[in-house]
């Protein structure tokens, strides 16, 4: 991309807005890093104009250069980075400024919110100290009282209760969501004109994500700042952004308004990305769009289209010369700003079907699909399982201050061929539930029945082994789940050797497994670090399948993977379930994935199931207020829907398990409870609602006032 204006750019300038008005204007930004493997060209020609008060969404997967772009704008890249091009703030060039000169702008004109709130605040200073520091840097004459008053205002603005007292608190006394609020308070302290948010909600739970997005929204309204929202999640920006820039391999590959991008994508990558994300709001009965392969190595020179290797529409022309980002030829009702870097963008008309183009496999059908649920055998059954931990306090002196009921009387079953998912915020007990199942032993509170054998009789090695063989696990982090010193062959051989299989049979089985999960069999002698994340997860799945289990326990199986890779793994899981007649027990925080893959779902809150049933029943007609809030918090990659949708924003974090009230656990945060007259509230506070279904009801739920009216304060619509 050159600095000379292309015809498209002139059109854009003449049409919508002149770059002179732009508060932030980036031209031909290039960033190169020296690494041991050569020069990595991380950002390759990024252009954008950010208009005052508008929101630009930069969407891309890891390694696409989106974060490096934002860091380059902020001047926060290491000195060794080679940056060229132009970054202008209100017409003033920022690139090439010294660290000192740049400091006048940083935090004052342009501010930033980072991804990981847990590590982004200095642990040894109070929150107030850190906010006041931001004020002091740019307002040295401001009085101490004025700064303190401003800090209190800021904390109040981002929704931190009793802000005056909290000024003196240290970061470790805040939850992740609260810390991200503090980060936002620091960022908007000096009324910046530009606010860059780099994956601000990725590390947070959905309910907290909704809160933080809401705070960002308020912050933008209060300050009138233009926002750059960097994310991998197409849902998060759908409702917020005015414009979108899709990045791939360090380069913008498609830009336009939200509508252009979501409803009329003209670059196969964007199209694939949109198809790769499952939807939480509709029952998809087709496979996800898989994008095969991995992004190119940016240490090597790019000769053709960087997406060519993964593109189903690739032709020879794509391999010669990288396509420019040019205006998409005018289609009726389309804005002039829509540009795509694809020589085939014409072929992708409004009704292009990503499934067809990317050859999405048909939704696989299991032999169990036709059999009624009650007629299938139970592969796993939990009967009133409980796990209570003593709660200790103090870092040096540990004293018991109570009991955490991590899992408190859980009962459910899984039948052959079905996928049951457990969902809930972190801390709700879903991971503990998995551990209770995987680490079954006779002394547990409650019964875990695996393949018809109860944990109560698992006293000898032989029984335990039969139970273990029925059930295997796939872990969240594909890297941590594989011993770095084992080759893939050794990884896969481990469970087979343990069964005492002969060597020849092991080899044969390993070759089968490699093919089964879509890996090249001749890669068995490689080490895990020679594979990409998606491939490692496939190895993890192959290991779990090695001993032919009936049930596979999936702990957040795709949350560590990029969107495009995630789709392939989900499709694989779908296929394996159908072909091998497997049952899954999945824990996931991404409700879209849950909806796509599961047959049944159980919503957990503070160690208890609050609602359970068939996934479509629960998702289409949630009865429990918590389920309703959870579902409404999930952003959907559909701008029109997202802008008009009602959202329930729960107040506060998951309460400390110690404060668990006598009646309904959820009452403290319940939006229905808040709207109830005091007389009815009494019932919620004194009686514990049982998990039961209504007459003719499809699902079980634990609430006295299902479908109740939602308190107006907790309901948000952005129109």
Binding region for other proteins (CB under 8 A) out of 124-132, 357-365, 384-392, 663-671: 124-132
The residue among 171 and 427 lying less far from other proteins, judged by its C-beta, is 171
Interface of this chain with other proteins, residues 75 to 114, rule: CB under 8 A: 76, 78, 99-100, 103-108, 111-112, 114
Q: What is the DSSP letter of 373?
A: G
Q: Other C-beta atoms within 10 Å of 319: how many? A: 13
The residue among 116 and 614 lying less far from other proteins, judged by its C-beta, is 116
Does residue 140 bind other proteins (CB under 8 A)? no
The residue among 203 and 631 lying less far from other proteins, judged by its C-beta, is 203
d(CA 45, CA 455): 60
Binding mask 567-606 for other proteins (x = CB under 8 A): ------------xx--------------------------
Strand runs (DSSP E) across 311-357, as ranges? 326-327, 339-340
Binding region for other proteins (CB under 8 A) out of 48-56, 150-158, 478-486, 685-693: 478-486
d(CA 664, CA 585): 27
The residue among 116 and 707 lying less far from other proteins, judged by its C-beta, is 116
Phi/psi region, residue 91 (left: phi>0; alpha: psi -120 to 50; beta: rest), is: left
In the complex, what is the shortest distance from the CB of residue 113 to other proteins, in angstroms, rounded to a whole number?
Answer: 9
d(CA 628, CA 630): 5
Interface of this chain with other proteins, residues 4 to 63, rule: CB under 8 A: 35-37
- Give the side-chain half-sphere CA count within 13 A for 404: 15
Size of the site for other proteins (CB under 8 A): 85
Q: Which position among 92, 125, 162, 441 is part of the footprint of other proteins (CB under 8 A)?
A: 125
Interface of this chain with other proteins, residues 511 to 530, rule: CB under 8 A: 511-512, 515-516, 521-522, 524-527, 529-530
Alpha helices in 244-315 (DSSP H): 258-263, 268-276
d(CA 541, CA 129): 48
Let me know if 166 is exposed, middle or buried by CB neighbors in 10 A (0-12, 13-18, 19+): buried
Binding region for other proteins (CB under 8 A) out of 43-51, 133-141, 159-167, 703-711: 133-141
Interface of this chain with other proteins, residues 608 to 647, rule: CB under 8 A: none
Q: Other C-beta atoms within 10 Å of 10: how many? A: 10
Bridge partners, residue 5, by sequence: none
Q: What is the DSSP letter of 663?
A: S
The residue among 116 and 447 lying less far from other proteins, judged by its C-beta, is 116
Binding region for other proteins (CB under 8 A) out of 74-82, 266-274, 339-347, 405-413: 74-82
Interface of this chain with other proteins, residues 381 to 400, rule: CB under 8 A: 394-397
Contact (Cβ atoms closer than 8 angstroms) between residue 5 and residue 86:
no
The residue among 124 and 717 lying less far from other proteins, judged by its C-beta, is 124
d(CA 84, CA 27): 9
Q: Which of 46, 37, 40, 49 shows the shortest CA–CA distance to 66?
A: 46
Binding mask 533-552 for other proteins (x = CB under 8 A): -------x--x---xx----
Q: What are the structure tokens assigned to 169, written together? A: 């608190």
Binding mask 172-191 for other proteins (x = CB under 8 A): x----------x--xx-x--
In the complex, what is the shortest distance from the CB of residue 301 to other proteins, in angstroms, rounded to a whole number?
Answer: 19
In the complex, what is the shortest distance from the CB of residue 383 to other proteins, in angstroms, rounded to a whole number?
Answer: 21
The residue among 304 and 361 lying less far from other proteins, judged by its C-beta, is 361
Does residue 438 bind other proteins (CB under 8 A)? yes
The residue among 350 and 498 lying less far from other proteins, judged by its C-beta, is 498
Contact (Cβ atoms closer than 8 angstroms) between residue 692 and residue 624:
no
Interface of this chain with other proteins, residues 481 to 510, rule: CB under 8 A: 481-487, 489-490, 494-495, 498, 507-508, 510
Strands 82-89 vs 551-555: parallel, antiparallel or unpaired: unpaired
Q: Name the helix (H) or strand (E) containing 612.
A: strand 608-614
Let me know if 332 is exposed, middle or buried by CB neighbors in 10 A (0-12, 13-18, 19+): exposed
The residue among 326 and 511 lying less far from other proteins, judged by its C-beta, is 511
Does residue 475 bind other proteins (CB under 8 A)? yes
d(CA 602, CA 588): 11
Interface of this chain with other proteins, residues 270 to 299, rule: CB under 8 A: none
Bridge partners, residue 227, by sequence: 55, 195
Q: Other C-beta atoms within 10 Å of 643: how many? A: 14
Contact (Cβ atoms closer than 8 angstroms) between residue 604 and residue 406:
no
Q: What are the structure tokens assigned to 441, written together? A: 């032993």
Interface of this chain with other proteins, residues 156 to 175, rule: CB under 8 A: 170, 172
d(CA 35, CA 297): 12
Binding mask 334-363 for other proteins (x = CB under 8 A): ------------------------------
The residue among 142 and 687 lying less far from other proteins, judged by its C-beta, is 142
In the complex, what is the shortest distance from the CB of residue 704 to other proteins, in angstroms, rounded to a whole number?
Answer: 38
């Amino acid at each position: 991309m050159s600095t000379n204006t292309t015809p498209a750019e002139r059109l854009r300038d003449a049409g919508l807005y002149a770059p002179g008005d732009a508060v932030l204007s980036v031209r031909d930004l290039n960033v190169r890093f020296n690494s041991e493997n050569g020069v990595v060209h991380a950002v390759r020609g990024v252009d954008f104009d950010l208009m005052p008060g508008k929101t630009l969404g930069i969407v891309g997967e890891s390694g696409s250069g989106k974060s490096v772009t934002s860091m380059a704008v902020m001047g926060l890249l290491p000195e060794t980075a080679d940056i060229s091009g132009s970054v202008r703030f209100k017409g003033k060039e920022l690139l090439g400024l010294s660290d000192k000169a740049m400091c006048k702008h940083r935090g004052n004109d342009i501010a930033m919110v980072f991804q990981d709130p847990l590590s982004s605040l200095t642990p040894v200073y109070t929150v107030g100290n850190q906010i006041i520091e931001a004020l002091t840097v740019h307002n040295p004459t401001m009085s101490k009282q004025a700064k303190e008053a401003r800090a209190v205002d800021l904390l109040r603005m981002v929704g931190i209760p009793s802000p005056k007292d909290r000024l003196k608190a240290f970061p470790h006394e805040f939850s992740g969501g609260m810390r991200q609020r503090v980060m936002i308070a620091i960022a908007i302290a000096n009324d910046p004109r530009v606010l860059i948010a780099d994956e601000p909600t990725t590390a947070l739970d959905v309910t907290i994500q909704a809160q933080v997005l809401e705070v960002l929204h308020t912050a933008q309204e209060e300050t009138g700042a233009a926002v750059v929202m960097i994310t991998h999640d197409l849902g998060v920006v759908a409702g917020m952004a005015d414009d979108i820039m899709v990045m791939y391999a360090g380069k913008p590959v498609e830009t336009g308004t939200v509508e252009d991008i979501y409803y009329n994508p003209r670059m196969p990558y964007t199209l694939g990305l949109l198809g790769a994300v499952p939807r939480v709001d509709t029952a998809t009965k087709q496979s996800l769009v898989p994008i095969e392969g991995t992004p190119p190595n940016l240490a090597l020179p790019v000769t053709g289209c960087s997406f060519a290797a993964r593109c189903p529409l690739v032709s020879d022309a794509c391999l010669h010369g990288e396509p420019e980002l040019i205006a998409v030829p005018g289609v009726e009702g389309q804005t002039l700003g829509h540009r795509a870097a694809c020589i085939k963008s014409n072929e992708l008309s409004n009704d292009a079907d990503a499934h067809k183009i990317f050859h999405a496999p048909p939704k696989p059908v299991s032999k169990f699909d036709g059999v009624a649920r009650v007629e299938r055998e139970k592969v796993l059954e939990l009967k009133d399982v409980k796990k209570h931990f003593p709660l200790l306090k103090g870092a040096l002196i540990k004293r018991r201050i109570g009991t955490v009921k991590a899992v408190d009387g859980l009962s459910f079953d899984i039948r052959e061929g079905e996928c049951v998912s457990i969902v809930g915020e972190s801390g709700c007990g879903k991971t503990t539930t998995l551990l209770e199942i995987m680490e079954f032993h006779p002394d547990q509170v409650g019964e875990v029945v695996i393949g018809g054998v109860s944990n109560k009789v698992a006293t000898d090695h032989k029984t335990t082994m039969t139970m273990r063989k029925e059930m295997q696990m796939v872990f969240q982090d594909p890297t941590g789940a594989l011993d770095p010193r084992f080759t893939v062959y050794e990884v896969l051989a481990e469970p087979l050797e343990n069964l005492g299989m002969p060597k020849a049979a092991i080899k044969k089985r390993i070759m089968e497994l490699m093919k089964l999960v879509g890996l090249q069999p001749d890669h068995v002698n490689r080490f895990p670090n020679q594979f990409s994340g998606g491939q490692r997860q496939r190895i993890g799945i192959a290991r779990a399948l090695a001993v032919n289990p009936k049930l596979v326990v999936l702990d957040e199986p795709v949350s560590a993977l990029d969107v495009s890779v995630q789709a392939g793994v989900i499709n694989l899981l779908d296929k394996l379930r159908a072909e091998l007649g497997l049952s899954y027990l999945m824990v996931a925080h991404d409700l879209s994935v849950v909806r796509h893959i599961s047959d049944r779902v159980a919503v957990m809150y503070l160690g208890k199931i609050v609602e359970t049933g068939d996934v479509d029943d629960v998702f289409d007609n949630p009865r429990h207020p918590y389920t309703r809030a959870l579902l409404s918090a999930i952003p959907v990659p559909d701008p029109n829907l997202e802008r008009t949708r009602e959202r329930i924003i729960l107040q506060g974090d998951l309460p400390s398990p110690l404060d668990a009230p006598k009646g309904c656990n959820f009452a403290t945060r319940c939006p229905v409870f808040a709207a109830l007259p005091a007389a009815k509230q009494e019932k919620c506070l004194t009686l514990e609602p049982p998990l039961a279904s209504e007459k003719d009801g499809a699902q079980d739920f634990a609430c006295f006032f299902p479908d109740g009216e939602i308190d107006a304060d907790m309901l948000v619509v952005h129109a």
